[in-house]
Amino acid sequence: MIEEHLESLRASYSETTVSIAAGWLTKLAEFGADRELTELGPRELNNWHRQLAWMPGPSGQLYSQNTVNQAVGATRRFYRWALAEGHISSDPTAGIVTRAAKNTVSSKLDFTPAQTRRLLGSLDLERPTGIRDRAVLGVLLETQISRPACSRIDLAHLQLDTGALLTHGRSQQIHSLSEGLLADLQRYLQEARPLLVTSPCEALLLNVNGGRLSGASIQQLVHYHRTSCGL
């Protein structure tokens, strides 16, 4: 049933979102002792929510409130789908109350050279989204711009011949890009973007539906890849 749900998500969500949902639903199935997720009731799901507050993540540290809320979001999406499909008669997540996450952590990626190599080296470059994600992470790491500013980059803002990138955050900036990042962006433009684009689009970075990759989606892919390699 999880696979059926994930397939339904692919019609509206990016592959990064689907992968994140798959990870949390797998953890929920483990929590439920491999019972069908539709057999879990409000009490079990509230216990699952409480457990997330003290469950260490892959890095050995406790999950942040953002991460807990992300897990609850993936769980709610599953049960609302199951309700709509007639697999359950009521939504067992209706009573779960989440807390707003405090915005106390810098949004900038600040890694050592070894951590940067580890992060960029973990991507699957056999997939268009892997090539794209490496380009996204490279831009964020090198320019230190925000996720929304990264989302707003258009094709016209990148000049491969001069190695310049124009970004619009709180202020307009022109960045001189390294040869490594330019190579990643050129590979994305040549190999990945043509497979993602479905109609003319001025955005540089595209989602799997051919539209502009949003700031929220960029935040999700950053979280996914950081978590995947334990950073």
CA distance from start to end of the chain: 31
Domain boundaries, the chain: 2-84, 113-228
Segment 128-154 mean pLDDT: 92
What is the spatial distance between Cα 228 and Cα 231, in angstroms, rounded to a whole number?
Answer: 8
Q: Which residues contact 113 (CB under 8 A, 6 or more apart)?
A: none
- Domain 113-228 annotated CATH 3.40.30.10: no
pLDDT range class, residue 103, cuts 50, 70, 90: very low
The whole-number pLDDT of residue 120 equals 87
In 3D space, the residue among 222, 96, 65 whose CA is nearest the CA of residue 151 turns out to be 222
Say yes or no to pLDDT of 57 above 70: no
pLDDT in tens, 23-50: 889 989 888 887 889 999 998 888 888 8
The whole-number pLDDT of residue 164 equals 92
Say yes or no to pLDDT of 107 above 60: no
pLDDT in tens, 205-215: 999 999 999 98
Say yes or no to pLDDT of 115 above 70: yes
The whole-number pLDDT of residue 150 equals 94
Report the share of the chain in percent with pLDDT over 90. Answer: 37
Please, are residues 168 and 152 in contact by the beta-carbon 8 Å criterion?
Answer: yes
Say yes or no to pLDDT of 12 above 80: no
C-alpha distances (whole Å) from 86 to each of 60, 66, 80, 91, 92 are 38, 30, 10, 11, 14
Higher-scoring residue by pLDDT: 88, 53: 88
Query: Is 21 exposed, middle or buried, given 0-12, 13-18 or 19+ CB atoms closer than 10 A?
Result: buried
Please, are residues 186 and 192 in contact by the beta-carbon 8 Å criterion?
Answer: no
The whole-number pLDDT of residue 99 equals 67
Higher-scoring residue by pLDDT: 101, 218: 218
Report the share of the chain in percent with pLDDT over 70. Answer: 92
What is the spatial distance between Cα 53 and Cα 67, in angstroms, rounded to a whole number?
Answer: 10
Classify 128 as helix, strand or coil.
helix
DSSP state of 174: E
| Residue 49 token pair | 């929510």
Say yes or no to pLDDT of 100 above 80: no
Considering the domain delimited by 2-84, tell me its CATH architecture.
Orthogonal Bundle (1.10)
Say yes or no to pLDDT of 64 above 80: no
